[in-house]
Amino acid sequence: ANLGGGALTVTGSGAVTDPKLTSLNGVDVTLDGTGTIATNQWTTLAGGSLTIKGGTYTFPAMTDVDGSSLYTQASSRLTLPAVIGYAATSNFATTTFQASGAGSVLSLPALAAITLNATYAGAVQLQALSGGDLEVPAPTQNADPVQVQATGAGSIVNLSGLGSFNGGGALSVTTGGTVTGPKLTSL
């Protein structure tokens, strides 16, 4: 089943029953850890957003988040173990992967490549803010333009596999933030 456009919010102990839902296109999803919804079968979130406001979520079958933004907020956790590539598909748009607030973790452990379409004039932002932890350890080279920001004590952006940081992007590490990049040799 496919859900195209709109918003899907499951918060405040609410429940949504749709175990056949696999693909969300242009949908803004918000989860807070108190609601009930089957997500293990979700494979695609394209051109939308996923905001985790509480709880811990793993989407084991999700392989495609192209054009989507991902957010975790204080003490929430999101892991997308099957996402190996990300394509920013919307022209003139900025997409964001953000972990914000103490204890928040956004993990894309297998994400190896971030690509942009030929006419893309936006940016992809990788952000750890106010104690958040963004884990993207697998990419070997960033797309142009990628903006990396670690701001605030305890904020970590893990880019441990990144060997070179290409032009057109930005790298900002301020106010006690940390970017982990032991293989980074070329800017």
Q: How far apart are CA 164 and CA 141, in angstroms?
A: 6
Per-residue model confidence (pLDDT) at position 138: 84
* pLDDT at position 139: 78
> What is the per-residue pLDDT for 133?
98
| Number of helical (H) and strand (E) elements in the chain, helices listed first | 0, 19
Instruction: Identify the pLDDT of residue 164.
Output: 76
Helical H segments across 114-177, by residue range? none
Question: How many angstroms separate the CA atoms of 165 and 145, rounded?
Answer: 10
pTM score, two decimals? 0.94
Q: Which residues of the chain have pLDDT under 50?
A: none
pLDDT value at position 73?
Answer: 97
pLDDT of residue 24: 95
The pLDDT score that the predictor gives to residue 141 is 62
> What pLDDT is recorded for position 143?
61
pLDDT at 1: 65
